[in-house]
Amino acid sequence: MLKSCHLNYCYGILISLFIFCDTASGDLIKVDKTILEDANLITPDLIKKYGYPAETHKIQAKDGFVLTAHRIPKPGGQPVLLVHGLLDSSVAYVILGPERSLGFLLSDMGYDVWLLNTRGNRYSRKHKRYHRYQPQFWDFSFHELGVYDLPAAIDYVLARSKDFEQIHYVGHSQGTTSFFVMGSERSAYMKKIKLMQALAPVVFWDYIDSPIILTFVKYLRPLVFIARSFGIYEFPPENEVWRSLIHKICSFVFQNTCTYFLMEAMGVDYAQFNSSLLPLFTGHASSGSSVKSLEHYGQQIHSGGFFKYNYYSTWENRRNHGVDTPPQYKLTNVDCKVALYYSRNDRLTSDKDVVRLRDILPNVVLDYMFPDPLYNHINFIWGNDVKTVLNDRMIELMRKVDNGEV
């Protein structure tokens, strides 16, 4: 009863803030109508707006989650699977429109483009047994994405691409973490990957220096305990309300403040960030995930390795892992072709940690660190020059792999 009262009180505050921002926004910062329109379109409608065909597919993972994939179909084209980062969605690869976003550029080059939404985000909130208000629904981290979501998506895509036995894979941030989990735990799937391109790969977190992240991890356990005590397993809780609230605050009231905190979290680089597009970005982020996902990432910081989830007791670790402490993932099992793209100013993954990853992986075909010393974590998706400095380079490598040159 007490927990319910606390939750109702919190939700009441959220609703009040939402109404306040909705009322106040009209007389504050003016935003381009086209940007606001794109900010409120779901991924397939955004794709269609720019004249491309769009499909929505439902993919069932073996543990009961029903995932949504958006497709820019190209019959007979080489399939490519694009996977977003934490708290993001399929919109990541089309958000900047047909001139710059990778999804559109790949479609223009004849690729059959699949945009996956991993479990728990706004598009993938169905389960065969659990409802999203049950704690069991949110009992996942990047481990389950690698063990269940990615294999299910790869099998689904290949089943609908009769002329191909392999796919291209592109992942950003968590989309790379989950791939390396899949390679470790379900290594047979490496034969189904023609090339994996990792944008801002997140595996080791020994050299991370983000003050925000380091402060968070310092209080990780008590914060998680408090969240679960209040029945909060989703992050952010009541995601759609939070997303709309953040969108209104950052679009119409505190654009500069929101931009500042974003830069502090991801790495400061105002040259590559178009602040006028902030309403577009906040309209789609955050797309939601689980508290356990954040906790699992937090456990990696300064851990010295890439570990499976550490449960709260030796007994739970023994039951889930067969040993008292969580084992490391086997990165040497990731033997498909891998291209690594990273930067010095990324506060969510250090270049030193990526170099360590590079030295472990057995088949790295490209090791590319951006020469721009300010390039940050979100520039891989939102950067002003992302087409010329990244996407064109990626497409060129894909073509070389397709032609047997790499």
φ/ψ of residue 24, rounded to 5: -80, -25
Q: What's CA 46's distance to the chain center, in Å?
A: 19
Q: What's CA 215's distance to the chain center, in Å?
A: 22
Active site members: 173, 346, 377
DSSP class of 55: E
Sign of CA dihedral 147, 311, 223, 63: positive
Residues 233, 290: contact at Cβ < 8 Å?
A: yes
Q: Which of 326, 308, 307 shows the shortest CA–CA distance to 318?
A: 326
Which tokens belong to 72? 């820019």
Could you give the CA distance from residue 118 to residue 110 in angstroms, rounded to a whole number?
25
Phi-psi sector, 322: left (phi>0), alpha (psi -120 to 50), beta: left
Which tokens belong to 364? 């790295």
Beta bridge partners of 171: 83, 198
φ/ψ of residue 110, rounded to 5: 95, 10
Q: Which residues of 256-276 are buried (b: 16+ CB within 10 A; e: fewer)?
A: eebbeebbebbbebeebbeee
Beta bridge partners of 253: none
